[in-house]
Structure 1
Amino acid sequence: MPADPEETFRRMIDLMLAKDMNAVADLWAPDGVAEFPFAAGGSPRVLRGREEVRAYLAHYPELMDMREVAALTVRPTDQGDTAVVEWTATGRTVATSRPYRLDYVVVLTVRDGLIALYRDYWSPLSAANAAGGLAELLGSLEGKREGKREGENA
């Protein structure tokens, strides 16, 4: 089992490329957390525990066919269990067969060789565009804004 953040992240990427989402989820601590601070639309902002991560990842290969990691930089921090990872994934969107290139910044904390915290700063606009769902995402955001306006007038 990988021990440090870089080894753990590289193992996760290898498993994602192999489309083994169960094994990816098994890298999480039972109480590990995945956070997506920039999530929008129907995307979750927080997943708590390995099984929520497993459920979230279950259908990922049916949506996005990640084929390569085009760039990967791991930046250790002064805390040995935490690293900042900048990476770029390329592949194709299954529904549209369109190619995609998505950039991520992840803050990863590992405890006992398992992911304790995975904070993923990804762009929901870029992901929705790659998946062919940009109009739907923008519509959901517009609906939230309209709902807020209605609530403010009440």
Structure 2
Amino acid sequence: MSHPESAGARTPRETLAAYHRAMLDKSADDLADLYAPDALHEFPFSAPGFPPRYEGREAVRTGYGAVWGASPVRIDEVRTVSSYETADPEVIVAEHVVVGRLPAGGAFTVPGLLVLRVRDGLVTHVRDYMDTAALGGVLPIRAARG
């Protein structure tokens, strides 16, 4: 585990790249280390069995650790479809598609859109709009319940 408070001047775009790497590796620790201690991660389109938010870095670590740790799927690629820097220098918006394989060999794709706010190199707020219908067939979402 790194020391997130030393993130320094990581830009929102650099943070997005690190976020996608953590997704690709299914590393809850690497993902959580990108967050400020009091960050908020919201899922506006939350599905039944999936939490509407994670409050704080450690909740991100625990929640994603449970989901990714319980999932036998392999993530092959996190493809950025488009990303946009905004008038607010702390915010980046990114559309992506997660591509992977199920244990039986079938392929899956889960599209999503992230709105990340990065302050002093750490994520302070995420609005995570993912295709929960596609996600429900891929991850054990009940494992994420708080």
Amino acid across the alignment from 1:50 = R
Query: RMSD in angstroms over aligned alpha carbons?
Result: 2.1
1:108 lines up with 2:116 in the alignment: yes
Whether the 8 Å contact between 2:40 and 2:56 is mirrored in structure 1 is yes
TM-score, scaled relative to structure 2: 0.81
Amino acid across the alignment from 2:89 = G
After the TM superposition, which segments of 4 or more aligned residues of structure 1 sit over 3 Å from their partners? 130-133
| Partner-residue secondary structure (3-state), 1:58 | helix
Task: Give the equivalent residue in structure 1 for 2:98.
Answer: 89
Deviation at 1:131, TM superposition (A): 4.4
Deviation at 1:19, TM superposition (A): 3.1
Runs of 5+ in structure 2 lacking a partner? 1-6
| Partner-residue secondary structure (3-state), 1:130 | coil
Distance 1:32 1:66, change over 3 A: same
User: What are the Cα deviations for residues 82-136 of structure 1, in whole angstroms up to 9, with x where unaligned?
Assistant: 0111011101234x54321111111110011011011011121111133488xx9
User: What are the Cα deviations for residues 53-78 of structure 1, in whole angstroms up to 9, with x where unaligned?
Assistant: 00011131541421112333210110
The answer to which structure has the higher helix fraction is 1
Quick check: which has more Rg, 1 or 2? 1
Task: Give the equivalent residue in structure 1 for 2:36.
Answer: 29
1:52 lines up with 2:59 in the alignment: yes
Amino acid across the alignment from 2:50 = S
Amino acid across the alignment from 2:97 = T
User: What are the Cα deviations for residues 29-62 of structure 1, in whole angstroms up to 9, with x where unaligned?
Assistant: 0000100000011100011000100001113154
Aligned residues: 133
Aligned counterpart for 2:85 among listed residues 76, 91, 96: 76
TM-score, scaled relative to structure 1: 0.77
Task: Give the equivalent residue in structure 2 for 1:67.
Answer: 76
Please give the alpha-carbon distance, in whole angstroms, between the structure 1 residues aligned to 2:134 and 2:40.
Answer: 23
| Partner-residue secondary structure (3-state), 1:57 | helix
Task: Give the equivalent residue in structure 2 for 1:4.
Answer: 11
Q: Which has the higher contact order (CA 8 A, sep 6+)?
A: 2
Distance 1:65 1:58, change over 3 A: same
Whether the 8 Å contact between 1:33 and 1:46 is mirrored in structure 2 is yes
Distance 1:42 1:132, change over 3 A: closer
Runs of 5+ in structure 1 lacking a partner? 137-154
